[in-house]
Chain A
Amino acid sequence: MELKSRLLRAATARPGVLLAVRPGATRERLFVEAELVRRGWPCAAGPASANLLVCVGEATTAEDDWAERLWLGIPAPKARVTASAVERAVEALDRGRADLLSGAHQHHVGRHEQTDGDLHRGHHEHQESPDPAPESGRHTHDDHNSHGSEHTNGSSAGAHQHGAHEGHASHEGHNGHAAHGMHGDHDMGVVAGLPMAARADDRDGLRLDRLHVPLGPVLADWPAGLVLRLELQGDVVQQAAVERIAAPITARPPFWNEPWLRASAGERVARGDAARRLCAAHLDSLGRFLAVAGWDDAAAEARHVRDRALAGVAATELTSSVVPLIRRIRRSRTLRWLTAGLGVLPSEHAHHLGVTGPALVADGDVHGRVLVWLDQIERSAGDCDAPGTLGAADVTGPRGRTDGANLPSQALLDVLPGLLEGAEFACARLIVASLDPDLDEFTWAAPPVRGPADD
């Protein structure tokens, strides 16, 4: 027993961390990310390889269904902490490790299974009712999924009328192999509480299983709080609807837009500070994009430079670390080969949907948008120590005009469903990363003059 507990302690000395970032917590996320790098704790891509669930940002009063599910998906030894403010983040991580070492959460594991079991039992009731009425069963499940998320896009209504289901639902034992439901006309067979996918026409004119998958809100290198409700056939996105998870409204301006919002509210904001923030914002987006593109080395460098920019290094020093990074990315033929032609967004269309940021300037594909970021990073890095203050007319933040009727990221979210249709999964992730909507913008309390777009 002594050996076992010692092993457990050694094993969790550097826990695998699953970061669950809530909208509005960019400042905290940046801090926690840097702290994890410093400690050398690996970031897990999913619950299966995680020990420590770190929720970053304030929890909503509504129950966070997704956070609970993530927690239930992590195998023991596990612990969960919330880093709600920068000042308390270090302490939260320490507490997380202490919980892991002491095994504080381990005796709860049984209880969690109970919870999961309850969920299952709920589904079994659907299955065992004399008239299964798959339609209603599915809606119930839908509603359940929608807890804590709000629709921003009406297109998911189409999702409800998918597939022609046979009148009879074939009953498989819930322990039976799921694959059995795959054959013949047993499309709506219910296995272990869930139906199998129904068929629908695909983009190539075949009739294949159409799978409804909610993507997000917690994925590696994913905009915090974004949920895409995808209809997948294989790994091709047939339809996508955008949702945001609920987040508390705060009076704190969104981190990346802060200088411009302050300036337009009449505060004096140094031009250099705004340039620095712009530079860091694009470096953050760039790091995320490169990570999604599978270029970890460049992504890590972008994030490192981002942290240096935010730490306030001098403009010349920043430029000297930005330039080699940018040159390397600009020159990469592989990156161009892999990202050219993806997610083409012509500027008329972008303009029509209210996009005002780099995505409008790029007037093109994923690679074009990245090049616009690179240009702006280079320029703003040089302006980091520029004298003067931001005028009231300077309203263009990292993702577009902060004074428009629409939030800059709202326009980016509106663009998404159209761009994602017909893309395959990897391309879809690249397209999302190349737009990189910032859902923090939605958590900001509306000032008296003009407010964020209401849903």
Chain B
Amino acid sequence: MQTSDWQPVFILLVLVLAAIALLHAVAIAVCAVREPLRTGPFSGGLEPREHPLSRFHVRWYPVTMVFLAFDMEMLFMYPWTKVVSEVGPSAVIEMFLFLGVLLAGVGYAWREGAFRWS
């Protein structure tokens, strides 16, 4: 009946988007005032002096670097799970050596204080 595994996924995507659009339509029909309210941002009642959008102080920048290394590693780890017993002990040894190297990196980053930022 189904042409592919992905068919229901696409139907579902359309369905959910349609439901959300419908909700918006219902809201337009029943809302108290249709004209949007234009207002300033809330921070307790007073107005900010500048636009809040700003270059953010990304204090966890070193964490993103460590994260990226591991995220790349996951690309190998997902397919690896399927072939462990097929390939044998060498698969396990190689993967965990790799992970060990990365963990050593984590240890180094920790010692450098990358995970503490306040």
Contacts and interface: CB of A to CB of B under 8 A. Distances in A.
Q: Please tell me whether chains A and B touch each other in their complex, using a CB distance cut-off of 8 A.
A: yes
Interface of A: 4, 7-8, 20, 46-48, 65-67, 69-70, 72-73, 75-77, 103, 106, 109-110, 113, 116-117, 120, 138, 141-142, 144-145, 149, 178-179, 181-182, 191-192, 194-199, 202, 204, 206, 208-209, 211-219, 222, 227, 233-236, 423-424, 427
Contacts of A196: 50-51, 53-54
B44 A66 contact: yes
B37 A217 contact: no
A215 B43 CA distance: 5
Nearest to B37: A75
Given A76-B33, A113-B35, A427-B118, A214 B48 contact: yes
The secondary structure that dominates the B interface is loop
Nearest to B44: A216
A181 B51 contact: yes
Nearest to B54: A209
Complex A-B, nearest 7 residue pairs according to Cβ-Cβ distance, in ascending order:
A234-B57, A66-B45, A209-B54, A214-B46, A216-B44, A212-B49, A76-B33
Nearest to A231: B49
Interface in B34-69: 35, 37-40, 42-59
22 contacts: A69-B40, A70-B45, A73-B39, A75-B37, A76-B37, A77-B33, A109-B33, A116-B39, A144-B47, A145-B47, A178-B51, A181-B51, A182-B54, A192-B51, A195-B49, A199-B55, A212-B48, A214-B43, A214-B44, A227-B46, A234-B54, A234-B59
Interface of B: 29-30, 32-33, 35, 37-40, 42-59, 118
B55 A208 contact: yes
B55 A182 contact: yes
B33 to A, nearest CB: 4
A238 B47 CA distance: 19
Given A66-B45, A77-B33, A196-B53, 6 more contacts: A65-B46, A145-B46, A209-B55, A215-B43, A216-B45, A217-B45
Contact of A235 (B40, B44, B45, B57): B57
B118 to A, nearest CB: 5
Contacts of B38: 113, 116-117, 120
Interface of A is mostly: mixed
B99 to A, nearest CB: 28
Contact of B50 (A48, A72, A109, A197): A197
A234 B51 contact: no
A1 B29 CA distance: 10
Contact of A46 (B32, B42, B46): B42
B39 A72 contact: yes
B48 A236 contact: no
Q: Which of B52, B55, B58 has the most CB of A within 10 A?
A: B55
A20 B44 CA distance: 9
Contacts of A4: 29-30
Nearest to A149: B46
Contacts of A212: 48-50
A73 B43 CA distance: 11
Contacts of A424: 118
B57 A218 contact: no
A46 B45 CA distance: 9
B57 A236 contact: yes
Contact of B51 (A116, A149, A197): A197
B32 A106 contact: yes
Nearest to B39: A73
A206 B117 CA distance: 14
Contacts of A427: 118
A107 B94 CA distance: 72
Q: Among the interface residues B33, B44, B47, which one has the most CB atoms of the partner chain A within 10 A?
A: B44
A172 to B, nearest CB: 11
A211 B32 CA distance: 35
Contacts of B55: 182, 197, 199, 208-209
A66 B37 contact: no
A47 B42 contact: yes
